[in-house]
Chains A and B, each alone.
Chain A
Amino acid sequence: MAKDELMNYEKALEQFEVVIGLEVHVELNTNTKMFCGCRNEFGNEPNTNVCPICIGLPGSLPAVNKKAVESSIKIGLQLGCEIAPNGRFARKNYFYPDLAKNFQTSQFDEPIAFEGALDVEVPSGKVFTIQIERAHMEEDAGKLTHVGGSTGRIQGAEYSLVDYNRAGVPLVEIVTKPVYGAGAEAPELAAAYVRLIREIVKSMNVSDARMERGNVRCDANVSLRPHGQEKLGTRTETKNVNSLRSIERAVRYEIQRQAALLAKGVAITQETRHWHEDKGATSSGRPKSDADDYRYFPEPDLVPVQPSKAWIEEIRATLPENPADRRKRVQAEWGFADLEFRDVVNAGLLDQIEETVKAGAKPQAARKWWTGELARIANTQDQDVTDLEISGAYVAELAGLVEAGKINDRLAREVLTFVLAGEGSPAQVVAARGLEVVSDDGALIAAIEAALAKQPDVLDAIREGRMQAAGAVIGAVMQAMKGSADAGRVRELLIEMANK
């Protein structure tokens, strides 16, 4: 992979206007696949959730999953879309070994939902309205594993293995219209948009929305044009951007890469590009070519989907509060300051905090844990905080233990690492590992006396009112007791001893 030349970001934005477009694929969490009764489940033995239909055996025919249609309508409505009174499936024809029939059953000119809009807030607090062009139903492909060569990549692989368990899993593909005017905030806007889509589909329980499992996947289109030029620039489509962080980074990278080329007078190639998380760079994929003639035509094996007004209204009545209303409501309920609340939203932590508060935590404690320690841990693991394996109930339990004085902050952080490692609930970890704070005066006094033996002047200093001298003893006691001492109690005992 040749190293790309990048233009300084600020300079790129001075010279060019950024236009982005986003295609988000959402895997629905139906029980069964889009067109057959096979289990829609992640992580099973390969090729065990398959049947003649989803491995495309000769003679098999598809049958549409009603729940998947319903979920698609829900998504369309929540994106403010119109629902098509007459939608059809179409075949998108291309050969690829993960595509069992060598065509994808999708929707072409008659998507189930179209013409929506979504208000998306970026970290600066600015709100952009993103126009949704369409949301359509389609099926996922199987999973390819490349064997031999290096690192499981296509290049250099000796052969590939195909597992069709994922083939036919229902997808909704949400396509935006070109987004103008985000300027320097285009990368943040792209990530905030995907975060909001996740929030929406999760709140309706139509998708598990776990990016690390590929439940939500984003293709980011980026093009640049000189300020004032009307004609859109040539765009690239970056695939494989499967975390919120990488969406932001990939868009930023493409802006800088394209700007460097355009400044040198080099034309942008219309192509697919791949995002490499490790290198923090995109690389060239397949250029658009004649081979991209997908020969769409109406799927003859399926009849049109014509949702009645009554059905649409019935579905609309089940929709949860829309995300904007919900934000207003919870901010008031929790009493967060605007800045505090914006951090929570930007981190995509509304659901987590709501769950934590529901489980009994005080809102501020919930906020502190999620945007503080948990966010820090996620960051060191290069993960999104929302993908951590911990429930709101556990966080509430942890906060409760601290408040009751059973553990201190330092111990709580330690407990947290064991909870994340799957050792059970915070209370279970505390019990199993004996991590409770020691407030038994006997043990504390013994430790204090041992520390005083090495620093005999401390009691005098306290008596003279130089309280900071207590710190050295408290630190020594903590060290001796491996952090499990109740620091507040140590301080009290010291003062008592000094005043005796």
Chain B
Amino acid sequence: MSEITPDLVRHLANLARIDVNENEVALFADQLNLIVDSVAAIKDAVAGDVPATSHPIAMANVFREDVIEPSLTQEQALSGAADSADGRFRVHAILDEE
């Protein structure tokens, strides 16, 4: 119980790039605890040596030939963007490295 602390919610929201206010932090912490508790039993279900299934229908080696297909025009590519300039998507400054 209470595996999901408010701090963990803030950390996860940050990883997921979602602003959360303090009310949401508290609410999500409560609700996620309930959900996590309800799914916890799953760990026992697979105690033995069970392989994981990532794809419901087993297939392999699905490839595309290396052949050029039509691209979007620059105008189409930028058509949905909130902001663009010089044929490129425009974003706010990046606060990161250097």
Contacts and interface: CB of A to CB of B under 8 A. Distances in A.
Interface of A: 30-32, 36-39, 45-52, 55, 57, 63-69, 86, 88, 95, 97, 102, 144-146, 148, 153-155, 157-164, 272, 274, 283, 285-286, 290-291, 293, 295, 297-298, 300, 302-307
Interface string B70-95: 11111001101000011111111110
Task: Summarize B's interface: helix, strand, loop or mixed.
Answer: loop
Nearest to A37: B69
B17 interface: yes
A48 B62 contact: no
Given A30-B66, A291-B15, A51 B71 contact: yes
Contact of B66 (A66, A160, A274, A291): A66
Nearest to B62: A303
Query: Which 6 residue pairs are nearest across A and B when measured between Cβ atoms?
Result: A37-B69, A67-B66, A66-B63, A161-B88, A298-B54, A285-B97
A218 to B, nearest CB: 17
Contact of A286 (B14, B59, B63, B96): B96
Contact of A160 (B55, B70, B72, B93): B93
Nearest to A48: B74
Contacts of A298: 54-55
B61 interface: yes
A32 B74 contact: no
Interface string B33-63: 0000000000000000000001100011111
Given A155-B98, A160-B93, A300-B54, A50 B66 contact: no
Contacts of B17: 95, 102
A162 B94 CA distance: 12
Contact of B77 (A50, A158, A305, A307): A50
A64 B64 contact: yes
Interface of B: 11, 14-15, 17, 54-55, 59-74, 77-78, 80, 85-94, 96-98
Given A47-B87, A146-B94, A164-B89, 12 more contacts: A31-B66, A32-B67, A37-B69, A38-B71, A39-B71, A66-B66, A88-B54, A97-B89, A97-B91, A148-B93, A159-B90, A272-B97
Contacts of B65: 66-67
Given A32-B66, A66-B63, A159-B93, A46 B86 contact: yes
A30 B72 CA distance: 20
Nearest to A161: B88
Given A37-B64, A286-B96, A52 B72 contact: yes
Contacts of B90: 159-162
A51 B69 CA distance: 9
Nearest to B92: A159
Contacts of A285: 97-98
B94 A63 contact: no
A291 B11 CA distance: 9
Given A46-B74, A283-B98, A145 B88 contact: yes
24 contacts: A30-B66, A31-B67, A38-B68, A46-B88, A48-B77, A50-B77, A63-B64, A65-B63, A65-B64, A66-B63, A86-B60, A102-B17, A154-B93, A154-B97, A157-B94, A162-B90, A163-B88, A285-B97, A290-B15, A303-B59, A304-B60, A305-B60, A305-B61, A306-B61
